[in-house]
Amino acid sequence: MNIAVYGWGQMGKLLCDTIDKSKNLNLIGIIDPFSLGKDSRIIENLENISIIPDVLIDFSHFSNSDKILPWIVANNVPTLIATTGHSVDQQKKINRGAETVPILKATNTSLGISLITELLGTLVSSLEDWDIELIEKHHNKKIDAPSGTAQSLLEKINDTLTSKRELVYGRKGISPRKKEEIGVHVVRGGSIVGEHSIIFAGDDEVIEIKHEAHSKMIFVNGALKGATWLYSQKPGLYTMRDIFK
């Protein structure tokens, strides 16, 4: 399968190295105007690509979606978008693009996070009356807070609850906790790859679901699994959870 990668940052480099080592995957192009000359396959934009890929994987920045979407629609290229921080308008454009080509939008390409998200549906339905808190931790260079993954987990929780709860970011002052809220806490420090904990606190017992990313390879492996799956799908907007169905 021929793959093109948009973005040659830390994740993009690791993804390209992994594709190069694969027997079944072929890296045909890397799009990154800021890294020209660092690899012979790096090109400035999608219009300069010599071979139309079977799948495009975007590990760049949400601002590039306005360049990517028209091209993948025009060339009918299934695309995995692994960036976060899209505006409401950008998300609408992604939704429209998915009417023409298969798009997998992943705030987190870890298979473990995908499974936890599915598990949340069962837990939340059974623990409607429990207090819910979410804690997420990342390295000190991450710019968005809460993380896209945290937002996806919170969306899953609220979509499952009978009545949506207010998201309360951080906690200070003197007041009791309200029942109709979900506490959201963000930690940024050091080189933490990624950690997400969802706490369900009831009377006299606590359930905590926790996922720790110990290496960025989990995101690379998940992205390649998702891209391989996406290649044979019909147009539509997918998530990592769909590959388990």
pLDDT, tens digit (0-9, with 9 covering 90-100), for 113-127: 999 998 999 999 999
Q: With beta carbons less than 8 A apart as the criterion, state whether 244 and 118 touch.
A: yes
Asked whether residue 18 falls in the same domain as residue 70, the answer is: yes
Asked whether residue 123 falls in the same domain as residue 194, the answer is: yes
> Which neighbouring-strand residues pair with 7?
none
The answer for residues whose C-beta is within 8 angstroms of residue 138's C-beta and 6 or more apart is 147, 187, 188, 192, 193, 194, 195
Could you tell me the pLDDT band of residue 189, with boundaries at 50, 70 and 90?
A: very high
Q: pLDDT, tens digit, for every residue of 69-92?
A: 999 999 999 999 999 888 999 999
d(CA 120, CA 182): 14
- Indicate which CATH number applies to the domain containing 29: 3.40.50.720
Number of domains forming the structure of the chain: 2
Asked whether residue 59 falls in the same domain as residue 179, the answer is: no
d(CA 54, CA 228): 9
User: HEC profile for the chain?
Assistant: CEEEEECCCHHHHHHHHHHHHCCCCEEEEEECCCCCCCCCCEECCHHHCCCCCCEEEECCCHHHHHHHHHHHHHHCCCEEECCCCCCHHHHHHHHHHCCCCEEEECCCCCHHHHHHHHHHHHHHHHCCCCEEEEEEEECCCCCCCCCHHHHHHHHHHHHHCCCCCEEEECCCCCCCCCCCEEEEEEEECCCCCEEEEEEEEECCEEEEEEEEECCCHHHHHHHHHHHHHHCCCCCEEECHHHHHC
Asked whether residue 166 falls in the same domain as residue 92, the answer is: no
Asked whether residue 74 falls in the same domain as residue 153, the answer is: no
Q: pLDDT, tens digit, for every residue of 216-243?
A: 999 999 999 999 999 999 999 999 989 8
Asked whether residue 52 falls in the same domain as residue 142, the answer is: no
d(CA 24, CA 181): 48
pLDDT of residue 158: 97
Question: Which of 32-36, 77-81, 196-200, 204-208 shows the lowest per-residue confidence on average (mean pLDDT)?
Answer: 32-36
Cis ω for the linkage preceding 146 (within 30 of 0): yes
Q: With beta carbons less than 8 A apart as the criterion, state whether 157 and 132 touch.
A: yes
Domain extent, residue 50, equals 2-105+217-244
Asked if the model's pLDDT at residue 48 lies above 80, the reply is: yes
Asked whether residue 119 falls in the same domain as residue 207, the answer is: yes
* Residues that are catalytic: 138, 142
Asked whether residue 222 falls in the same domain as residue 208, the answer is: no
Asked if the model's pLDDT at residue 245 lies above 80, the reply is: no
For helices 111-126 and 148-160, give the axis angle rounded to 10 degrees: 30
Which residue in this structure is represented by tokens 């080189």? 191
- Indicate which CATH number applies to the domain containing 159: 3.30.360.10
Q: Is 61 exposed, middle or buried (0-12, 13-18, 19+ CB in 10 A)?
A: middle
Asked whether residue 90 falls in the same domain as residue 124, the answer is: no
Asked whether residue 203 falls in the same domain as residue 222, the answer is: no
HSE-CB of 158 using CA atoms within 13 angstroms = 17
Q: pLDDT, tens digit, for every residue of 53-73?
A: 999 999 999 999 999 999 999
Asked whether residue 99 falls in the same domain as residue 146, the answer is: no
Asked whether residue 29 falls in the same domain as residue 49, the answer is: yes
**Mean pLDDT for the chain overall:** 95
pLDDT of residue 144: 87
Q: pLDDT, tens digit, for every residue of 93-110?
A: 999 999 999 999 998 899
